Amino acid sequence: MGIKASGNNTFIKLNLLTIILLFVLILAGGVVRSTGSGMGCPDWPKCFGRYIPPTSLSELPANYKDTYVQKRMDKNQRFAKMLDIFGYSQLAMRIRNDKSILVPEEFNTARTWTEYINRLIGAISGVFLLLCAVYSFKYRKTNKLIIFLSVFNLFLVGFQGWLGSIVVSTNLVAWIVTVHMLLALAILAISIATYHMAKVQGRYKVTVKPLVQVLTLIVLAISVMQITFGTEVREKVDAVATHLEGSYRDSWVKRAGDIFTQHRDIALVVLALNLILYALIRKQFNRHAVQQQLMSFTFLMIMLQIITGISLSYFALPPFAQASHIVLASLMFGAQFYLLMNLFKSENVQGAGQ
């Protein structure tokens, strides 16, 4: 019994560390995106053919520009063929005819190391997800769903890594960027779910009014919609920036169009619904309960989101605000999803879900 408990505790600790690493990875990805460092390392898994990135031009391979442009073209051609198979011929044609990928990426030490650190955090996260999958088999007699989700998450993160390389290789094709962000939230949600299931050992019982659960689901769904619109705003801003060749940065957000207005308006809906949910949670749980703590944390994230959103709108998209906005959105989503998990736990394991 002691060995089994030890194995379960190991899984819970690994899972918690994995969740933390996933938030760090989302932050790192936001930094890469906001600083334009996606092609800082033009090859994979190495960086300019090295395990440790170069720090000067003298360390670069001969004819590196031509070599990596050709590799990028080959990758895009393979991706275009796959799109043809699935019926996205128009998008495939657009990728094939995209002449911007023929422009070689200039070496920049800061961008190279930014992308390298992002990859390093991604690799460490992958290792922890692998360990979670291995230790999940401790639950083979008590909760096979933990095993399935842990193994499935491992495959998802592999697909996410490949999709990330496509995002930068295809110059941020709009819908791929959105899918990449939503997939990151899915991986995060699965890790949170397996962590919670391991903590409560599968003993669930509805202990709150259905209205609270339904409203929590609605709030979570609208938050995902808001994050999706936010990703689409950034896609529009990227298109505007490309059209203006990087000039008039202070006008990029205004030129994004209706999607920016929708993103801003839904933010008000998110705030209003969370206020209602917070009032309901306060009626049913004391201030020390994990549910109230999660709602307080959610509100903090929303307030910080509003501040960074204002900074993005009125201060010409500062990179720090961009990265912060993304990670705050993921933290808000994580808190809301964990709240949903904690609304379905049994009273006799009240402390276990915390």
| pLDDT (0 to 100) of residue 248 | 53
| pLDDT band, very low/low/confident/very high, at 346 (cuts 50, 70, 90) | very low
| pLDDT (0 to 100) of residue 349 | 41
Residue 324 in contact with residue 304, Cβ under 8 Å? yes
- Give whole-number Cα distances, 103 to 43, 60, 113, 242, 351, in Å: 16, 18, 21, 14, 57
The model's pLDDT over 258-296, given as tens digits with 9 standing for 90+, comes to 777 777 788 888 899 999 999 999 888 888 888 899 999
Supply the DSSP string of 20-55, one letter for each residue.
HHHHHHHHHHHHHHHHT-TTSS-SSSSBTTBSS--S
Answer CATH for 203-354 from 1.20.120, 3.40.1350, 1.25.40, 1.10.620? 1.20.120
Indicate the SS3 state at residue 141: coil
Token duo for residue 173: 């094709």
Supply the DSSP string of 64-77, one letter for each residue.
HHHHHHHHHHHHHH
CA dist 326 and 230 (Å) reads 9
CA dist 38 and 41 (Å) reads 7
Indicate the SS3 state at residue 203: coil
* DSSP-H helix ranges across the chain: 2-35, 64-85, 89-96, 109-135, 144-169, 174-200, 210-243, 258-284, 290-314, 319-342
Nearest CA among 24, 16, 18, 17 for reference residue 327: 24
| pLDDT band, very low/low/confident/very high, at 238 (cuts 50, 70, 90) | low
Residue 262 in contact with residue 226, Cβ under 8 Å? no
Main-chain phi, psi angles of 345, to 5 degrees: -95, 155
Token duo for residue 299: 């509100």
Pick the more confident residue, 316 or 320.
320
Mean pLDDT score across all residues of the chain? 82
Domain boundaries defined on the chain: 1-202, 203-354
Residue 342 in contact with residue 196, Cβ under 8 Å? yes
Examine the pLDDT at 300 and tell me if it is beyond 70: yes
Return the ∠ at Cα 239 (arms to 235 and 243), rounded to 5°.
170
Residue 135 in contact with residue 11, Cβ under 8 Å? yes
The model's pLDDT over 173-205, given as tens digits with 9 standing for 90+, comes to 667 778 888 999 999 999 999 999 998 875 555
| pLDDT (0 to 100) of residue 117 | 93
The model's pLDDT over 29-54, given as tens digits with 9 standing for 90+, comes to 888 888 878 778 877 778 888 888 88
Q: Count how many Cα atoms sit within 13 Å of the Cα of residue 201 in the half-sphere of its side chain.
A: 11
Pick the more confident residue, 104 or 183.
183
Token duo for residue 177: 């960027």
Q: Count how many Cα atoms sit within 13 Å of the Cα of residue 150 in the half-sphere of its side chain.
A: 30
Name 175's Cβ contacts closer than 8 Å, sequence gap at least 6: none
Indicate the SS3 state at residue 345: strand
| pLDDT (0 to 100) of residue 41 | 82
CA dist 240 and 283 (Å) reads 47
Examine the pLDDT at 253 and tell me if it is beyond 80: no
| pLDDT (0 to 100) of residue 91 | 75
